[in-house]
Amino acid sequence: MTSFPPQTLSAIDFAADLFRQAKHAVSLTGAGLSTSSGIPDFRSTGTGLWSRDEPMEVASLSTFRTAPERFFDWFRPLASQIYNAQPNTAHLSLAKLEKAGRIHSIITQNIDMLHQKAGSQTVIEMHGTMQTLTCTQCYHKVESALYLDAFVENGKPPRCPQCSNILKPDVILFGEQLPQAAWFKAQREARHCDLMLVIGSSLEVLPVAGLPMQALDRGAHLIIVNNVPTYLDVRADVVLTEDAAAVIPAIVEKVLNG
């Protein structure tokens, strides 16, 4: 059991109260939620993916189209980490919250499928998913589980079983538009919720970073759990700069068991 200072305990209690009062709560999650599962985030100093690589050079649609092997060389260790990752206590706690009817949906910027592995049912994936791959030529779609093992093992880019062209993971690269259906769902959830819980997101990447503002503009409460400040800390009801894997279970325990 994690020991928290009094100020943090007070914030946890207040966050739990907001959940108990809410009729339509949603969560917005980012890469910071999965660091305890062994998946690096993007912007942490020294450990974030973008502290080591220039995103437009390795993770853009133009790079994939012109030099796919460069993308796959960068992507291989991340794919291995995602493939082997397991949900942490925060993912599992959110799934409990959903099962208890205390949270309506999870809007996630993550591609790691850990929410689904934890048991969450209503997950809106804003940046795509690692679950499937699509051929860049004939658009044949396949389950990634059939190809990820071999790719992680030998590093050879996966190829289409129908036409032999390169398969692209169904994740959103820089220069690609967000999936339209997911974006519409996320906006609808943001505009109808009366409480939004942001976890592990620096709220720096638009347009997803604007979803909490849409919620606030319609009178919703806002809870932020993140290890660095965000632009909306001044508008939030509760701000917790603590490890999500410790704080989220504490909030959920208070919500469900008082």
Homologous superfamily of the 1-39+88-127+178-258 domain (CATH): TPP-binding domain (3.40.50.1220)
For 258, residues 6+ apart whose C-beta sits below 8 A from its C-beta are none
Tell me whether residue 110 is exposed, middle or buried, using C-beta atoms within 10 angstroms of its C-beta: 0 to 12, 13 to 18, 19 or more.
buried
Structure-block tokens of residue 250: 């504490």
Q: What angle do CA 58, 165, 78 make, to 5 degrees?
A: 35
> SS3 for 68?
helix
For 70, residues 6+ apart whose C-beta sits below 8 A from its C-beta are 57, 58, 63
Cα dist. 117→84, 94, 98, 121, 158 in Å? Answer: 12, 12, 14, 10, 24
Q: What is the pLDDT of residue 53?
A: 53
Q: What is the pLDDT of residue 54?
A: 58
**What pTM does this model have?**
0.90
6-21 vs 244-257: helix crossing angle, rounded to 10? 50
Q: What is the pLDDT of residue 246?
A: 95
Structure-block tokens of residue 35: 């660091």
Q: What is the pLDDT of residue 52?
A: 56
User: What is the pLDDT tens value at each position of the chain, 258 positions in all?
Assistant: 578 999 999 999 999 999 999 999 999 999 999 999 988 765 444 444 544 555 567 678 988 899 998 889 888 888 888 888 999 999 999 999 999 999 999 999 999 999 999 999 999 999 998 889 999 999 999 998 888 888 888 888 899 999 999 999 999 998 889 999 999 999 999 999 999 999 999 998 889 999 999 999 999 999 999 999 999 999 999 999 999 999 999 999 999 997
Q: CA torsion, points 197, 8, 93, 34, in degrees to nearest 10?
A: 70
The residues with which 174 forms a beta bridge, in sequence order, are 60
Classify domain 49-84+130-171 by CATH architecture. 2-Layer Sandwich (3.30)
Domain ranges of the chain: 1-39+88-127+178-258, 49-84+130-171
Tell me whether residue 119 is exposed, middle or buried, using C-beta atoms within 10 angstroms of its C-beta: 0 to 12, 13 to 18, 19 or more.
middle
Hey, which residues are catalytic here? 127
- CB-CB contact of 70 with 229 (8 Å): no
